[in-house]
Amino acid sequence: MATTEKTFETIPDGTNVTWHYRSAIGHGTVIGVHERGSTADNTMYSVRQHDHHSGEPAIVHHSGKALSVVKP
């Protein structure tokens, strides 16, 4: 029996998002899918941070479940 891949919608590139990080909230823009999961929630996204501090990476990876979309 052939199997077909189930499709789902990922967070689009260019979407502004936030996430909780320690006692703060991070802000950034999705720049792509880092690793595709089986749902949008367990897919890992590459996010360019807007307000990263020195010593922190400019691009981080977060699961879709950890991200909140910022409404324009």
What letter does residue 56 receive in the DSSP assignment? S
- Pairing relationship of beta strands 68-69 and 24-35 according to DSSP bridges: unpaired
Q: Specify the pLDDT at position 6.
A: 63
Task: Count the helices and strands in the chain (H runs, E runs).
Answer: 0, 5
Q: In this structure, what are the phi and psi dihedrals at residue 65, rounded to the nearest 5 degrees? A: -65, -30
pLDDT tens column, 6-34? 689 999 999 999 999 888 899 999 999 99
Q: Which amino acid is at 62?
A: H
- Structural tokens at position 7: 């499709």
Classified as helix, coil or strand, 28 is: strand
0.75 surpassed by pTM: yes
